[in-house]
Amino acid sequence: MVRTEEIKERYELSMERIGQIPMETDVEEGYRGYFQKVAAFIQQVDAVYQLLQEDRWDDLSLCDQQNMNRELYRDILEEAYETSYANPAFAVQKLGDSYGQMLSFLYTEIRGEIAYAFEENTEYLTICNELFLEVYACFEDDTNPPEKTVKDILYWYVSDYCDVFQADRVLEQIDPESSFAVDLIMHADLEEDAYLYRFGEYITENELGTARHLRGLAPETLQKMADVYTEGYRIGFVNTGKDLSKKSTVNIRYSLGFEKVIRLAIRNFEKLGLRPTIYRAAGSVITKREQYKIGYYGAIANKQYEYDHRGDQALFLDKKLIERKLEVTKNTFEQHKELAAQFAGPAVMEIFGEHPFVPVNKPEAVSLSDAQKELSVLYDNKSGQLTNQYIKGEERSFTIVAYPVPEIGEKYTEIFDEVIRINTLDAKVYEKVQQTLIDALDQGEYVHILGKGANKTNLKVQLHPITDAQKETKFENCVADVNIPVGEVFTSPVLEGTDGILFVSKVFLNELQYQNLKLTFQDGKIVDYSCTNFDSEEENQNYIRDNVLHSHETLPIGEFAIGTNTTAYVVAKKYAIEDKMPILIAEKMGPHFAVGDTCYSWSEDIKVYNPNGKEIIAKDNEVSLLRKEDVSKAYFGCHTDITIPYEELESICVVTKEGKDIILLKDGRFVLSGTEVLNEPFNE
């Protein structure tokens, strides 16, 4: 209670001081506008915080809540962003190179206060306010304070408050008592739009339209959606021989608007003995990972804004900071190791259909140096090891499913119904057909994938040898457990002998578009890469290195798969949404290749069997096997799937040790006897 009162007092003092800034003239005129703008924003957030503290938020009309939501995010919306201090290009123009970058970052960090206000997290609000005031004081005391002084303030903010932000982030994942979102989902009136604004996320017609559409669905349809989601999670444990009964916590990740399904899913999970953790996508540089959203979130107000600030940690990232974050992570896990051991893994509901985003690379945006990229890779590696130490890979699982949002187009409701159908296709039909493919693939020494026309793909994928054909298999028969929907057979290729070119004319990976993406492999590792997004070859290479290779010098091919869900493919073509399909569905719509870790990372030694009882022996490659000598060399913390559409394929051919060719696909159609049923959707 004493600490709570102390934080409350600090918060009130900080707000009193911030309230004086708009009237002050001590700061040099060139910087004054910035500090007044940010101070006004903090006061705007405080107005929301006070409404919530006094239980007056629900007294607001829906219109007032909508207006308040819009005003909180107005400054970073596309129409205002060009003259916003959150835009590093504008900030640098107005405040100079170094100050501009640092102060643009500071404003971005302060914008995290929106979420803290709605969660009524006084401590986080106070920390951010005090950071702002400390920087402001520098400019009060000195017309042009030394850049190092400002940078040091930012550095020690990140370092000192790792104890709070980083520790809380670990705990949010494993402790179901942290229940802001769960309480809201389970107790809000989901029949009205107002509940969406209580999250504090940006709300658009996507979130509103999704919630309204779900209200119009039959109860049995909603239940079916929830059942597919939770049953896929359960079956994931069964198929990998993991004991779900030992676990008590599941992490639900989703986008706002789907609360009706999530509420039913929570009840389903409860029947499995699992309580949910539902944490918000990170808003602080201390805990977020570049521009990626991990957790629940609303609309992304401006993807360019998120992209511009993906490298903000470059302002202060060094070895000591990496060690500090790892120390806090380890200590938090150690203090709560019983909770960590009870964590079963994430259940993810993704969305798709938003307008494709092609980023602009701004020279004013902060970016990591090569040395910092190495540190970032080191952190990801060490952090992954820590997570696996306390949440063991061989004991956890996951599931992922995806649904469209209204932005996908005027036929949204039709597409939504089609996706429900895709997500609930008869797994038994696919199991049989896919086993036919696997029987042919198991005879092969390698697979040859050849592109058609302008597609330059010409790739040889080396397969693992089988010792006992009666008991062993190279490919997993994927029938809608962890990866929904059904429709793929996949393996971890042998790296040595996997050579050639992978090409795709247009693809979206992690919401970023790539045009004419070309990856060249030698012994299973990327040795060259290019695309045509930008005029400069250097820009194109940096784009791929940052967002596909994730700052690694190279990555191995971790997976080769053949997608069999021609139903999804035909739906995508029918509604012209191929470029909007999420990788979760797109990977089932043709052959795909993942660069990075294998599908079995951190759990390679668990025996996995196909429905026919054969053990899958291709779970490792030459890189993942290094875990037995030095685990730091075995994993990359990334796995990016790249799919070639059927129409860009000349052929997929299995080549046996004797040199016999077994053709699986020819001119984008399945030709192997017993797989013809997969062509039926093409004829509809």
Q: Find where tokens 């896919």 sit.
A: 434
Q: Is residue 362 part of a domain?
A: no
Residue 431 in any domain: the answer is no
- Residue 480 pLDDT level (bands cut at 50, 70, 90): low
Shared domain for 47 and 141, answered yes or no, is yes
Q: Are 449 and 652 spatial neighbours (Cβ–Cβ below 8 Å)?
A: yes
Whether residue 597 is found in the same domain as residue 503:
yes
Domain range for 266 is 171-195+203-282+293-301+324-357+383-401
- Sheet with 557-563: strands ordered across: 476-478, 488-491, 557-563, 591-596, 639-643
With 80 as the cut, is the pLDDT of residue 278 above it? yes
What is the mean predicted confidence (pLDDT) over 247-255?
97
Residues shown for the chain: 684
Same domain, 129 and 189: no
For the CA atoms of the chain, what is the radius of gyration?
A: 26
pLDDT of residue 400 exceeding 60: yes
Report the C-alpha gap between 430 and 487 in whole angstroms. 7
307-291-416 Cα angle (round to 5)? 100
Do 212 and 351 lie in one domain? The reply is yes
The per-residue b/e assignment along 393-408, b for 16 or more CB within 10 angstroms, e otherwise, is bebbbbbbbbbbbbbb
Mean pLDDT over the full length of the chain:
94
Residues 121 and 191 in one domain: no
pLDDT (tens digit, 9 = 90+) per residue, 429-476? 899 999 999 999 999 999 999 999 999 999 999 999 999 999 999 999
Counting the structural domains of the chain, the total is 3
Q: Is residue 440 part of a domain?
A: no
**So what's the pLDDT on residue 107?**
98
For the chain, percent of residues with pLDDT exceeding 70 = 100
Same-domain pairing of 270 and 389: yes
pLDDT tens digits, 286-341: 999 888 899 999 999 999 999 999 999 999 999 999 999 999 999 999 999 999 99
What DSSP line would sit under 610-673, residue for residue? -TTS-EE-----TTGGGGGT-GGGT--S-EEEEE--GGGEEEEEEEETT--EEEEEETTEE-ST
pTM of the model: 0.91
Question: Are 348 and 465 part of one and the same domain?
Answer: no
Among 473, 463, 471, smallest CA distance to 496 is for 463
Residue 49's Cα: distance from chain center in Å? Answer: 29
114 & 262 share domain? no
Q: Residue 511: pLDDT above 90?
A: no
Q: Return the half-sphere exposure (C-beta side, CA atoms, 13 A cut-off) of residue 129.
A: 30
Does residue 184 sit in the same domain as residue 333?
A: yes
CB-based contacts of 190, cutoff 8 Å, min separation 6: 211, 215, 259, 260, 263
347-372 as b/e: b if 16+ CB within 10 A: bbbebbbbeebebeeeebbbebeeeb
